């Protein structure tokens, strides 16, 4: 059976219709970071991704390598609705994929920016999700992945709106932005059938310079770029001329098509992909670019100059596509950035009235709302409740691929999840994170997604009380993983020299133990939190043990009550209604 068929599955007509209706509101989702070798503490490349969707389930995808007889076909499904789109031929061989990393340490993330709505190709059969998995199954490098994506949309049509891809391998990272050409039906002279005369897509891919970092969050960020000079930049008509010095690749008609549509009339050298195909507005800045600013702000002392722009003033100067950080970054840094709610800034979500008495940095959807004829919004920050899963891909060039690639995977909200390391060379996925162990409408007590969700939802009730207990365990587990990884790298690396298959099995058992132990520990944490904070009280405990008096009876609980800011708000709204007289 075809691997992508297994990945996306069959769905009923009712499910398709329901998903289509929901998908209308699934905007402003996902956040990606890109880190080059020279910007990381250990020389690894890294990309990150958060699958923010109200219907996305947190499971670890698994596509084993395969050899395909001539004539084999793969069925493609729309990632947002599961609607079947069509079939394309399989190549003779496909590579193993775990999550969004393949066995050659190629990894891909994405964020959707929509762009000009009229450019959606209703006849295309390869959507953004299929492009990601197909590229991972067919490419050994990031550059090859870009070529695969460009070739697929040219041949089969692009079935999604605007998309930004993070594409990395063990040596370099790229950002690629793509949008379709719309639908212009004409009669094919040979077949007599109606076909799309504008099939394909326009796109640009830029390599992030060594020592720099980048990010994107649901808005196109590539502006101007150097044009075809046969050296640092090249159009996709000249794929065969790609060299190690090539830093920009783009669709040959990316500017000509914009001229034909009337989107652009200026000089070629001044052409901006983002400004042309995804014009800025308030929402693009405040809901999207603000998340990029938040990440950059953690590692650069020069970001305050872009705050007004990121907060929604699009008359201000745009942020650069990439920056050189003030310090080198680690996997732990990217985990921390994924957990950001704008803490410590003027937009800190834990400090306004919406945070309630317990400093909750979350706002329940919808994103925008109306009151007395005026429109308002809730902040859209990096860490969000509707994350299905997130990851940090770490690619290490100094190790064999099966050991060098680590896919740090977390189910549910990044702020309250635990990132578990999975080597890209493992031979199967642990049951607790595997596809088919529950889904977004089916609870499973053994599934990581549901275990993390139960704890997160409890934390949302008494956030500033509960999170110190949660983050303590979270930090302990992730720090322990770092120690274990160092030990396993050495052990598996030595075994790999003489018996690669045995080394991969060792890694598989190691990852299964990590996943199972993590879920067991998180389940225990959930039980502890329920007991400690039952009914809004706080049980007395020391080092995780609840305190009793000499006769075994519970020590009296504490009643923390509410903070002064909340008391003041209550009094302002109610006057002396609750004053003791």
pLDDT tens string 200-214: 999 999 999 999 999
Residue range 367-390, pLDDT digits in tens: 999 999 999 999 999 999 999 999
pLDDT tens readout for residues 88-98: 999 999 999 99
> Rounded mean pLDDT of 48-71?
97
pLDDT at residue 11, as a whole number: 36
Q: Percent of the chain at pLDDT above 90?
A: 91
- Asked if the model's pLDDT at residue 449 lies above 90, the reply is yes
Question: For 398-437, what is each residue's pLDDT tens digit?
Answer: 999 999 999 999 999 999 999 999 999 999 999 999 999 9
Residue linked to tokens 């958060």: 50
Kindly report which listed range (12-26, 426-440, 456-470, 510-524) carries the lowest average pLDDT score.
12-26
Indicate the SS3 state at residue 29: coil
Closest Cα to residue 177, out of 58, 84, 277? 277
- Give the C-alpha separation, 102 to 476, whole Å: 29
pLDDT bin (cut points 50, 70, 90) of residue 240 is: confident
Where are the extended beta strands (E) located within 29-82?
Answer: 32-35, 45-52, 62-63, 66-67, 73-77
9 pLDDT more than 50: no
Three-state secondary-structure class, residue 458: helix
Q: How much is the pTM?
A: 0.94
Mean pLDDT across 234-249: 90
Least confident of 58-62, 226-230, 293-297, 495-499: 226-230
Instruction: Tell me how far apart the terminal alpha carbons of the chain are, to the nearest angstrom.
Output: 76
Q: What is the pLDDT of residue 340?
A: 97
CA–CA distance from 437 to each of 2, 149, 190, 388, 407 (Å)? 20, 31, 48, 14, 20
User: pLDDT above 70 covers what percent of the chain?
Assistant: 95
pLDDT (mean) for 544-566? 95
What is the predicted pLDDT for the residue at 7? 52
Per-residue pLDDT at 470: 98
pLDDT in tens, 280-309: 999 999 999 999 999 999 999 999 999 999
E strands, 324-474, are: 368-371, 374-377, 387-395, 406-411, 420-423
* Residue pLDDT, tens place only, 304-358: 999 999 999 999 999 999 999 999 999 999 999 999 999 999 999 999 999 999 9
Angstrom CA distances, 459 to 350, 416, 443, 463, stand at 14, 8, 19, 5
């Amino acid at each position: 059976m075809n691997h992508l068929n297994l990945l996306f599955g069959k769905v009923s007509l009712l499910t398709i219709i329901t998903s289509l209706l929901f998908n209308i509101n699934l905007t402003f989702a996902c956040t990606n970071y890109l880190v080059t070798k020279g910007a990381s503490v250990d020389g690894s490349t890294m990309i990150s991704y958060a699958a923010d969707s109200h219907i996305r389930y947190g499971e670890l995808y698994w596509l084993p390598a395969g050899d395909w007889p001539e004539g084999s076909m793969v069925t493609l499904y729309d990632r947002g609705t599961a609607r079947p789109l069509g079939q394309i031929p399989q190549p003779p061989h496909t590579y193993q994929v775990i999550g969004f990393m393949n066995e050659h340490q190629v990894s891909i993330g994405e964020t959707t920016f929509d762009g000009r709505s009229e450019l959606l190709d209703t006849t295309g059969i390869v959507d953004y999700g299929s492009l990601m998995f197909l590229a991972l199954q067919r490419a050994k490098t990031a550059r090859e992945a870009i070529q695969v994506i460009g070739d697929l949309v040219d041949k089969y049509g692009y079935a999604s709106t605007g998309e930004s891809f993070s594409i990395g391998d063990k040596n370099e990272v790229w950002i690629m932005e793509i949008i379709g050409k719309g639908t212009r039906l004409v009669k094919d002279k040979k077949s007599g059938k109606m076909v799309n005369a504008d099939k394909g897509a326009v796109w640009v891919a830029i390599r992030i310079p060594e020592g720099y970092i980048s990010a994107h969050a649901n808005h196109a960020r590539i502006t101007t770029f150097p044009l075809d000079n046969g050296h640092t930049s090249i159009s996709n008509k000249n794929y065969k001329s790609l060299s190690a010095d090539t830093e920009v690749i783009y669709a040959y008609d990316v500017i000509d098509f914009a001229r034909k549509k009337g989107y652009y009339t200026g000089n070629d050298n001044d052409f901006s992909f983002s400004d042309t195909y995804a014009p800025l507005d308030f929402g693009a800045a405040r809901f999207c670019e603000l998340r990029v600013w938040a990440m950059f702000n953690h590692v650069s002392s020069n970001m305050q100059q872009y705050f007004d722009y990121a907060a929604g003033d699009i008359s201000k100067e745009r942020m650069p596509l990439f920056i050189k950080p003030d310090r080198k970054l680690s996997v732990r840094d990217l985990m921390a950035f994924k957990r950001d709610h704008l803490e410590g800034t003027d937009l800190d979500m834990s400090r306004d009235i919406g945070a309630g008495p317990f400093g909750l940095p979350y706002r329940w959807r919808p994103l925008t709302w109306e009151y007395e004829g005026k429109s308002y919004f809730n902040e859209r920050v990096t860490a969000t409740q509707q994350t299905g899963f997130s990851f940090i891909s770490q690619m290490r060039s100094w190790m064999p691929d099966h050991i060098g690639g680590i896919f740090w995977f977390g189910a549910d909200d990044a702020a309250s999840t635990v990132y578990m390391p999975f080597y890209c060379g493992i031979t199967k996925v642990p049951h607790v994170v595997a596809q088919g162990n529950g889904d977004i409408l089916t609870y499973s007590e053994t599934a990581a997604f549901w275990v993390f969700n139960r704890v997160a939802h409890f934390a949302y009730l008494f956030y500033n009380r509960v999170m110190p207990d949660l983050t303590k365990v979270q930090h302990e587990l992730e720090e322990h993983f770092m120690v274990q990884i160092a030990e396993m790298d050495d052990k598996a690396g030595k075994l790999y020299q003489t018996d690669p298959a045995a080394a991969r099995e060792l890694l598989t058992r190691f990852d299964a133990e990590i996943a199972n132990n993590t879920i067991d520990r998180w389940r225990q944490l959930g039980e502890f939190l329920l007991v400690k904070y039952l009914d809004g009280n706080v049980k007395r405990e020391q080092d995780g043990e609840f305190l009793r008096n000499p006769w075994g009876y519970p020590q009296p609980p504490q009643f923390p009550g509410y903070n002064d800011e909340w008391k003041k708000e209550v009094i302002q709204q109610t006057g002396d209604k609750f004053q003791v007289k």
